[in-house]
Structures are given as structure tokens and as C-alpha cells.
A and B are shown apart, each in its own frame.
Chain A
């Protein structure tokens, strides 16, 4: 099993969800997060007082999928979340040791 963590532009969330649904991925957890990579922040001015805002709002999607499907999911993520501009985000993959469904104690891929 692989855990896929994708940090994307907030306004791309709907498109990404649609793309994942189209390849049969139903489960995911999302969080509104803030961060930055190479994308520079912006300057705000309130009555002459300048503030540099460098942590920008992003959406983080986390999901765990069977190892065999990871490439396909990454492909769907990349094509749906890309605008081609700086700030599109990143995807990270991790190996997952175990998955457990709390309701009935299913283990492994059966729990996904």
C-alpha cells in the first residue's frame, strides 16, 4: 500500500476530486493548510504598514491506495491539478505498513 500526499492549489480541489472519482478512488482526507515552496508570497499594505504574507493557502489531500494503483492515481492528480504556473504544489509517496478499518477490524488492502 502507498500513501499519497498531494498539496495543491485550493481552487483545483473540485477538478482533482472529479478526476480521482473517474478512476474509481472514493476515499480521501483533505485539509486546508498554508505553506510555500518556491512560490514567493505577496505584500499587503494597511495604512502604510507593510506585511509580507509568505504562507499561502493550499489544500492537502491524503489517501492510501493499493501499491499497484499508485502510478495511475499520481497521473490523475498531476493532470487535474496542473496549471503550469509556479505554486501548483507537490505530491509525496510513502510506503504504508498497515491499514485497519475501525468498524470491523479489516486489515491490509481490504481496509482501504
Chain B
């Protein structure tokens, strides 16, 4: 910092000595701009790394610990492999389909093979960071979103079918949804010409509703695991899950505060809202569990924090700290009831509760964003009233429409993709492979070897 000011003074001094005042002003402006760019880029690269950390190791550990030990590697692989597959897909066509200015529903091919995505900022999206930083940051979201779905079909999906499913899902569900909400001219984009202006700061609909609802479709389509509710299927390592959930909490600062796309006070506000929601949701879930089943569990605590992080995701850049606490607490209680009462009433085997946490929490968060969004936090639309608290009750409807688009796209898209995968490869492992476990039957190795 001292060095920077020294440089600034030196430059200003030099300008003063040699040239007229306007030149001095221009030199100062350039210096300030480049300092802002450097600061913003540093935060965005850090955030990109944090969001990748959410998938591996975060989600891989969280999900890996919740399955039986014969499936620990298979489950971790379902997250990890997406760090490779989606990255390649994103470079070839994904980024362009999501962020190229195309129609209201999907992008065009202007950035095919990352053509034209370089060091110069894309002023439509983020004026102070290299376009390439924006691109790689968004990639990390495209990786974790399909990985979230894997919680619903844990312990029973064929690896080959999962690969095909994920590629098609990114193409048919994720890229269009990301374009609609965040892409220039997207149907739901409140900032860049959307017809239904819907607020989704960091991906409540794009990431959590799409993945959570698709997860439910997968759970219903694949059917229950063999022995569901008759054989014990308790988590094989709560310790792994605990570490994974804590990594998710930390990584989420990159996810939400990073969505400010710069190192601004809005990033701070989103950081604070994110943290507060996670804390309140942890307490909400634990309280509900303590009252209903007698003991506050560690799994309850970590599930609660994830539920709160999910719900605050769309709201994080729009709400003040107190509403963030409230949103988080509600998400903790609602998601607890979803994975216990609702799941057992309907009897679907959403194995690791991807729908109960991400689908329900994401939808709740999208709606509550319409209530608590305020221009005092997010001034990007100048003096326009944002949510109900600003006096714009109609925003709740816009939020509901945004969530509805995500629900419909996820249900229809996922169902079509599953049919295709089933016809081409068969989606479910056979009974013997399921009994043996995915580690051995799909990958030929074991997570824990007692002989070595």
C-alpha cells in the first residue's frame, strides 16, 4: 500500500513538474484505474479458486462421507470428474452458449473455443477485470452445479451414463439457464435487458434450483437404492462430511462475495450476508432437530449451514445482515422438514438430499430475495425500488417466475436427458454391481484397504 501511494505521488509529482494540469489528472486517473483493476482481479482470481475448492475437496468430502464405504471413491469421482469434463466443455462451447449475446434463451457462438476472450475486460459483465478472469470464475459455477445433482443418484448410477448425462445437462439445462439469468439480453436478466427482471445474485435459480430439481427427477427416475429402508445405509464417515461442509462454508465466500465481480463494498456486504445466513441456518436446523428427534446432531448442524448458504445465494448481494439472518434461519428449518418429514411422506430416495437442501433452499431463497432486496445494498439500478422492503411487491412475482423457469427447464431437460442416456447406455448399475459398490464395480479400486 505504501509502495502504491509512493508510486502515485511520484507519478503525480512528475506530471506536475513537466506538464499542464489536465495531463496530471489523466495520469492520476489511469493510476487509480489500474489499481482498482489489480485489486478486483486479485479478489476474483481468489474467488475462482475458492469456488473450485467447493467441488473438490468440499462437495466430494461432504457427499463421500455420507455414502457407505464401498461407494466412497465412486461418489468423490462423480464430483471430481466434472472439474475436468465441464472445463473442457466450457472452453470449447460452454462459455459462449452461456455468455455470448444470443437470444433471450441461449447464447451464440461468438466465444467458441474462447475466441476473443482475453485480457481486455468485457464491459457488459465486469469492466474492471480481464474477460478471461470473468470466464474462468463462471466456469467454477458450471462445475459445481451438476456435481450437486450427484447426491440424488448416489450409490447406483453407472459412471459412463453419468458422464453423458452431465455433458448433456450442462448443454441443455445449465448453459441456457445461466444465459437467461446472467447473459446479456437473457430473459430473466434484471440488468442487461431481461423481459422478466429477476434477481439472482450468485445462482439461487441458476445453480441451486436447477440442480436440486434435476436431482429429484433423477431420484425418481433411477428408483430407490437396493435395500433402501430395509438395510442400514448410514453415513460411513461423518468426519469426512464435516470437513467437506466446513470447506463449503469457506468456499461460499468466493461464490457469493465473488459474485460482486470486484473487490467492492458490495462484495463485503455479500460476504457478511452469506456468513450470517449460514450461522442462523445451522441454529435453525439444529433447533428443529433437537425439538423433533431429541438430539442435535453434527450432520444436522452441517446440513443446516449448507441449507442457509444455498438460500442466501440469490439474495446475498441484495439484502442487509438482519434479513440474511432471517433467511438463513427459515432455510434451516424448512430444509430440515424437507429431508425428514416430506421425504419420508413421499418415499423418494434422494440419497444425499440434493433436492431437499438445494431445490427447496434455492426456491425459498429466490422468493425471499424478492422480499428483502433493497437498493440500499445494491445500487446498480440506481434509485429503482428492488424488493418488497423497498415498496416493490411485484418483485416477488418476478422472483417466482424466475424460479418457475428454472423448475420447468430442470424437469423437462433432465427427463429428456435421462431417457437418452438410458437408451444409449442404461443409467443404472446392475444389481450385482450395486451390491459390490461403485468403487470396485466402476473403478476397480477401494477407498480403504485393510490389507495394505
Contact = CB atoms under 8 A, between A and B. Distances in A.
Interface of B: 232-235, 289, 292-293, 295, 297, 299-300, 303, 339-341, 343-344, 353
B270 to A, nearest CB: 29
A38 interface: no
Interface in A43-74: 44-49, 51
Contacts of B292: 48
Given A47-B303, A51-B234, 11 more contacts: A44-B234, A45-B293, A46-B234, A46-B235, A47-B300, A47-B339, A47-B340, A48-B292, A48-B340, A48-B341, A48-B344
A34 B340 CA distance: 30
A46 B293 contact: no
Closest 8 CB pairs of A and B: A48-B340, A51-B234, A47-B339, A51-B232, A45-B293, A46-B234, A46-B299, A46-B235
Contacts of A45: 293, 295, 297
Nearest to B356: A47
A48 B234 contact: no
Contacts of A44: 234
A45 B292 CA distance: 11
Contacts of B297: 45-46
A51 B339 CA distance: 16
Nearest to B66: A46
Contacts of B300: 47
18 contacts: A44-B234, A45-B295, A45-B297, A46-B297, A46-B299, A47-B299, A47-B300, A47-B303, A47-B339, A47-B340, A47-B353, A48-B292, A48-B341, A48-B344, A49-B233, A49-B234, A51-B232, A51-B234
A48 B293 contact: yes
A109 B299 CA distance: 54
Nearest to B232: A51
Nearest to B303: A47
A90 to B, nearest CB: 26
A49 B234 CA distance: 8
Contacts of A48: 289, 292-293, 339-341, 343-344
Main secondary structure, interface of B, reads helix
B238 to A, nearest CB: 8
A45 B343 CA distance: 15
A51 B299 CA distance: 14
Nearest to A47: B339
Contacts of A51: 232, 234
Contacts of B233: 49
B282 to A, nearest CB: 14
A92 to B, nearest CB: 27
A48 B339 CA distance: 8
Most buried by B among A44, A48, A49, A51: A48
Contacts of B295: 45
A55 B203 CA distance: 45
A57 B300 CA distance: 25
Interface in A18-53: 44-49, 51
B75 to A, nearest CB: 16
Contacts of A49: 233-234
Interface string A1-23: 00000000000000000000000
Contacts of B299: 46-47
B331 to A, nearest CB: 15
Contacts of A47: 299-300, 303, 339-340, 353
Nearest to B337: A48
B208 to A, nearest CB: 18
Contacts of B343: 48
B452 to A, nearest CB: 18
A45 to B, nearest CB: 5
A49 B343 CA distance: 10
A45 B293 CA distance: 8
A49 B233 CA distance: 9
A42 to B, nearest CB: 11
A47 B356 CA distance: 11
A45 B299 CA distance: 9
A31 to B, nearest CB: 13
B341 to A, nearest CB: 8
A46 B295 CA distance: 11
Contacts of B344: 48
A104 B46 CA distance: 67
Nearest to B229: A49
Most buried by B among A46, A47, A49: A47
A51 B235 CA distance: 11
B134 to A, nearest CB: 37
Contacts of A46: 234-235, 297, 299
Contacts of B353: 47
A51 B233 CA distance: 8
